[in-house]
Amino acid sequence: MKSSIAYYKGVLVRFSALLVLLMALRWVFFLFNQSLYSPLTFSDILNVFYGGFRFDLSILLYTNSLLLLIDLFPFSLLNQKGVRCAYRILFVAINSFLLSLICADIAFYPFNGKRIDTELLGLLGAIPALMASFFADYWYVFILFGALVYGLIVLSRVGYSTPSLPNIWIRLAAFALGVGCIVVGMRGGISNKRPLSIAAASKHVSADKISLVTNSAFTFLYSLVHRDIEIPAYFEDVELENVFPVEKNFGGDSISTKPNIVLLIMESFSKSYVGSFSGNSTYTPFLDSLTTKGTMCINGFADGRRSSQALVALTSGIPALLPEPFMYSNMAGNRVQGIPEQLKQIGYQSAFFNGSSKDKLGWEEFITQVGFDQYISKENYPNPGHSDGEWGIYDHYMFDHLLHVLDTSVRPSFYTLFSISSHHPFNIPDSVKEMFPSEGYLYWSALRYADWSLGQFFKKAEKKDWFKNTVFIVVADHTLNGESFTDDSHKKARTWYENRVGLYAIPILFYTPLDSTPKIVKAPFSQVDVSATILDLAGYEGKSITWGKSLKSLPEEKYCFQFVNGLYQINDDQFVVLFDGESSLGIFNYKTDFTFEIDLRNQPETKVLHDKMLMSLQGVIQQHHKRMVQNRLFIQKAQP
């Protein structure tokens, strides 16, 4: 018996240590991001331990299964020097990769609001240029990772003595038992009908703590393997078209002179920092002043958590319901009926402006796919000296370039500018830096600078002859994604902005100089709704595929919907329903129940609303997945 224990000591020590390490890193992750979570009760801590253990064990077994089989193989392979050397290299390489994802999320999670997934693959081009600023801001993460890799190297050398081999029958039994345990552990337990999924974390904790139970290595590899989507069967086809139709008819209102349309997508403009929208102290005085002349959508929501998801929603009307952004997914080759392509049919020319380089963001194919005539980026901007040295051209210079192009363009035009300066690392030109104090928080100064750049653009634009016949749309791509605040009382006043719904709350504003009467839209309004409204404003006539509703014809029951951390959600201006794809997790008042503790679906006044919202969400999902899989994101022309 002693010889058997000695024989298997190495594998037990190595993988027990790895498991303990992953579980410890969960609490390191929590310590760095605890401001993003509601306080943990003792019950929460136990549930996080148990649920986290399942996810940690599962990912270790998936990624280290080959090494474990070598360890357990009845005829010892590790006695051979070459095999042992290869084993050690694989052990360090595989587990360094896992730990790199977990360490990276210590820094990235506040920006993403979710654990890392295959979306990371689409951002690889931007990493080299930003590595210096990452290291300057998150040097402690690099030190932690280096220490962990050193620990792996030490651990890889543990337990390779060659005690006498146990009886062959013991070795065969241990191998069979080990294989069985590996399979059960991978699946997350013996009682699971299906293998462990990200959504399974919701069985252990409330929705706002799901990311505390999962781990970054699991979410990345899970999204890599599960890139294909299944078409749900909530409704028959005929019923589906009644529940949530996406083939919309646009009437083509008679317009004597088609307006120019300028879509200004402002990087990381959280609603909570725009006082006119949130009621909080403001960092955007110009945008606030513009709301006194335009139409404010005070319950505006982003469709996703990433810039790429916003771009897809705003220029094609497709929501962000895939595990990764559409343009980085294996569905990216689908034909898309873009807004620029449709506007071209009625005489518009179009251009997309972004101060970053094309290879950094990986958007070029999608920009072409939706029909933009031009892509104006850092590469073809006339003055390279206006670059911040990391992300690209400073905002106020790029706005000036948009003005120049508008001055020389053919009418009507649809131009989209995507700002960059309010993105980390929040660079501001030295010439104006003193105008925008940070108050200890670089984002605030960058936000003020971006708002000033927007104001300078309008100050110059209003003197142009094309100004009055132009519709301006100002919308954020996403929120700042859960950055902590410096003032605790300030933070408490904005608590709902930190939950699953508030993390999508953004400003959306329409401004038409010919009609500067201020208006307020209280209905929930998202980026896919902006895309539908653009078609209406341009007088587009015909059918279009869109998940959005035009501002000109909002229904009485209006909802927004998103997908994050393995759960779907749909919200109105007060309530949200959570759905894991199979069953509802309840309906919650997200404005008062910040952590979704009180399920209201059994209360008479909210049960009917819950059922309506759930049915609508199921229709949204089924339409999305069906059309994604079948490549039906465009109106098919009738065959002659």
Which of 494, 497, 505, 451 has the alpha carbon at shortest distance from 474?
451
- pLDDT digit string, tens, across residues 281-306: 899 999 999 999 999 999 999 999 88
pTM, full prediction = 0.77
Q: Is the pLDDT of residue 98 over 70?
A: yes
Q: Is the pLDDT of residue 207 over 90?
A: no
For residue 95, what pLDDT is reported?
Answer: 94
Q: Residue 195: which residues within 8 A CB-CB, separation 6 or more?
A: 186, 187, 188
The mean predicted confidence, pLDDT, of the chain is 87
CATH 3.40.50.2300 fits 237-441+453-550+557-629, yes or no: no
**CA dihedral sign of residues 159, 163, 165, 167:** negative
Least confident of 31-40, 115-124, 161-170, 588-597: 161-170
Which of 468, 440, 436 has the alpha carbon at shortest distance from 451?
436
Domain ranges of the chain: 2-225, 237-441+453-550+557-629
Bridge-partner residues for 357, per DSSP?
A: none
Band of the pLDDT at 124, cuts 50, 70, 90? Answer: low
For residue 565, what pLDDT is reported?
Answer: 79
Band of the pLDDT at 165, cuts 50, 70, 90? Answer: low
For residue 123, what pLDDT is reported?
Answer: 64
CA–CA gap between residue 544 and residue 316 (Å, rounded): 10
Largest separation between any pair of C-alpha atoms in the chain: 92
Taking residues 345-351, what's their average pLDDT? Answer: 95
Least confident of 18-22, 46-50, 69-73, 92-96: 69-73
For residue 607, what pLDDT is reported?
Answer: 95
Instruction: Give residue for tokens 């199979």.
Output: 582
Q: Residue 272: which residues within 8 A CB-CB, separation 6 or more?
A: 278, 280, 479, 494, 497, 502, 505
Least confident of 253-257, 309-313, 631-635: 253-257
- pLDDT digit string, tens, across residues 222-242: 877 766 788 999 999 999 999
Which of 349, 283, 358, 296 has the alpha carbon at shortest distance from 327?
358
Q: Is the pLDDT of residue 112 over 70?
A: no
Q: Considering the chain, what percentage of its residues have pLDDT values greater than 90?
A: 53
